[in-house]
Amino acid sequence: MAMRCLLVDDNARFLEAAKALLERGGASVVALAGSSTDALAFARELRPDVALLDIDLDGESGFDVAELLSGIVPHLIMISTHAQEDFEELIAESPVLGLLPKSLLSAEAVGEMVGAEG
C-alpha cells in the first residue's frame, strides 16, 4: 500500500510539483494544504501516514504546525530550501523526524526517513 502523504506549503506551484514528484515515486498525496488551518483539517479527516511541512508558511512556523499535527499524523518531516544546520535545535526540540531539502524530495527519501525512525 502506498505511503499516504499530506503536503503543507504556502507555494501552490511547489505543492503541485511536489505532488507529481511524490506520486511518480509511488506515494499517494492525499491533500495539499497552504496553512495550518487547512493542514489540521485534512490531517483529522484523512489521517495520512506522513506530513511534509515547509518551515516557513507565510507568517506561520512549520514547527508550530508540526506541534498541532503531532498527535494526529504519525510521521512529520520538515521540508525547506534552507540548510538543516540552520534549524538543528528547533528540529531536536520538535516532534519531526528531521529536515528533507526540497531539492532532494522524493518518495524514496521520505520512505527512508520514516523507515529510519526508531
Q: pLDDT per residue over 40-67, tens digit each?
A: 999 999 999 999 999 999 889 999 999 9
What is the rounded average pLDDT of the residues 93-111?
95
Does residue 116 surpass a pLDDT of 80? Answer: no
Helix, strand, coil in percent for the chain, rounding step 5? 45, 25, 30
CA–CA dist 79, 8 (Å, integer): 9
What is the rounded average pLDDT of the residues 22-30?
97
Phi, psi (rounded to 5 degrees) for 7: -100, 130
Residue 13: the pLDDT is 96
Q: Which range (23-37, 81-95, 96-110) has the least confidence?
A: 81-95
Please state, as a whole number, how many other Cβ atoms lie within 10 Å of the Cβ of residue 4: 17
Q: State the average pLDDT for the chain.
A: 94
Q: What does the block give as the cell for 50?
A: 506522513
Q: What does the block give as the cell for 47?
A: 489521517
Does residue 118 surpass a pLDDT of 60? Answer: no
Contact predicate 42/33, CB 8 Å? yes
Residue 58: the pLDDT is 87
